[in-house]
Structures are given as structure tokens and as C-alpha cells.
Amino acid sequence: MARKINFYAGPAGLPLPALERAQKELLDFENTGMSVMEISHRSKEYDKVHNEAIELTRELLGVPDNYKIMLLQGGGNLQFAMLPMNILHGGKKADYIVTGQWAKKAFKEAKIVAGDNARCVCNMEGEKFNRLPRPEEIKINPDAAYVHICSNNTIFGTQWKNWPDTKGIPLCADMSSDIMWRPIDVKDFAFIYAGAQKNLGPSGLVVAIMRNDFLEMCSDKLPSMLQYRIHADKNSLYNTPPCFSIYILRNVLAYNKSIGGLGAIYKNNLKKGELLYGCIDKHADFYKPFVAVKEDRSYMNINFFLPTEELTTKFIDEAKKNNMVGVKGYRDVGGIRISAYNAVSVSDIEALVSFMEDFVKKSG
């Protein structure tokens, strides 16, 4: 059966070589006579996979030695609560920059945990999240224990290219939908977390990266599963980890390394954006982008509208006939959303752009 060109926003497509490796090893992993889903998480065979996934994360992102890498469960949504639970004890306060649905949910969970000690210092919802704030619109409080952002807006299609100036306050970021899309300087952050299901692997796994001094601020008065200190100390093996998800993460990261790492991935993502936004801008009277400011456009999630709902439905149906799935816009936005995560190739976007060019002609 032919593989589809997968534009779903998440869970999303994974690199084919990573899946083929899993297929080859599924019934007999490392000559154990068992699947990696069946062997003990304390076995030397699994331990090798677990540590390789952590080491590859450190290598590809250039994570300094004074950061711990944790492989957690519960998705990004648990991190929305777990972060303030760990840090906002003893009256500490935090600032939230709300630029989309997931940033809004992170702030909501922080309010549940910390009440008024969780503060929204900028909210773009009044403009329907169609741009990012300018520096003068963000008012960071000097007493904040951290500032929280969401680096990429999966639903509405904005993306931070330059991080906000937090005036020395530790910066925390939900990078679920664009982690490893390009090289970054991890030292800019006290804490990074990312649900795996868009750029890294299957759902159910979170990659979390925390600076040691920030980790020392974490509470030790929480239930054990909610303490970052314990997960860091136990190398993410305090309880049975999501072994298969971590195994697939290892496969994806090993493949990413083999093709040249994040530098090569970034080059591909820039080319994909150039092709797709080039087509949208070329036909600006037909494809209307949702994001109002060009420099705020996401390279991971690209939203646009067609002139009528009828044409939108036709576009989705015709795309499916052309082997492309997942192009329907999010229910609160409508239109078309193309999620062009790392596993989406330049040739996939070339096929999409060719389809879009033909669709304009046929609809004219």
C-alpha cells in the first residue's frame, strides 16, 4: 500500500526509515526473541535504548552538561500543571505570555495551581492569535520565578523566531510542535518540554530539559510522580517508562543524526516554507493566510483560507484523492492547515504546491 503524504497536526508523520527500523526489529529486538515492548525496562537491552535516546537529544540540541534530560509521561498537558506545582511554592510567582490555545491552557493550569501568583503579562486572544506580540507589549515582572511561552502555535500558525526578552528571568517553553525544527541555544532556557507526537515520536512521551539550578528550585513536597527532582535523579526510570515511545524516539533521533542533524533539518524546513508560502503569496487573492505578520508565520503549521466554504471542501476532497491527508483546518479556525513537521519532505511540499497551483487554475 502506498504511503500517504501526511499533513496531520498530531499525532503526525514520522521518518520512514525510523518506522522501517521498528518494523524490522518488532518481533526480535537485539536477539532477545522478544519485542522491545515486551522486555523489562531494567534489562541491558532496553537500558541501551533509553540512554541512547537521552544522549542523542543532548547531542542534536547541544544540551550543556548543567542540564538534565527527562523522558516523562502525561503529555504536554501534564507539564502545564507540573511546572507551576514544582516551582510556584512558598509564594513564588510566574509570568505567562499567551499567544495561542496551548499557551492559554498552560496559563489556565497555572492559575489552578497558584491562583493570582500566575500572571498573564500579554494575551493576543483579542486579535484571534493571528500575530505574536511586539517587545513593547510584554511587561515582565521582576519578581517572576519564570516566564512561560509556547514556541509554536499549532492551531493558529505563529512561531517565535526570536525569544522575548525576559530581563534575566528564567524562560520556560512548551516546544511540543517545533522542537528540533532548527538549532537553538538551549542556554536561553531554564526549562524546555515537548510532547513527542509532532517532531519526535509517538504520543504519550514528553522530552523535558531542565537546567540544574532551576531543578534545585523544585518542590520535594509533591507526590513522587510529580517531582522533577525524582525523575531527574532516577534517569527517568522511577517507574516503568513508555518504552516503545522512547524506542521510536531513539530511532527518529538516530535518523536525524544520520542526515546531518538539525542544520540539515533546518535547511529543509526553510525550503519547505519558501515553497509553500511562495505559492500562497503568489495567489494572494485566492489563498488568504491567517497570520497577519509575515515574520510571525510558522514553518510547522501553515493556515490559509480559500474564497468559499465550497472551495475549501473541494480542496480537502481533491487533496485526499491526490494522496494528501490531514489538510482540514482546526475546528475553531476553519480553512486549511498544513502541518509541515520535520518528517514532511521537500518533495511532499513540492507535490502539495503543484496541487495548489492546479487547483487555482481549475477553480478560476
Active site residues: 102, 174, 198
Instruction: Name the residue type at position 87.
Output: I
First to last CA, the chain: 34
Contact 6, 325 (CB under 8 A): yes
3-state helix, strand, coil in the chain (%, to 5): 45, 15, 40
Contact 303, 152 (CB under 8 A): no
Instruction: Name the residue type at position 86.
Output: N
User: What is d(CA 49, CA 231) in angstroms, rounded to the nearest whole number?
Assistant: 17
Among residues 15, 301, 22, the alpha carbon closest in space to that of 154 is found at 301
The burial of 291, by beta-carbon neighbours within 10 Å (0-12 exposed, 13-18 middle, 19 or more buried), is given as buried
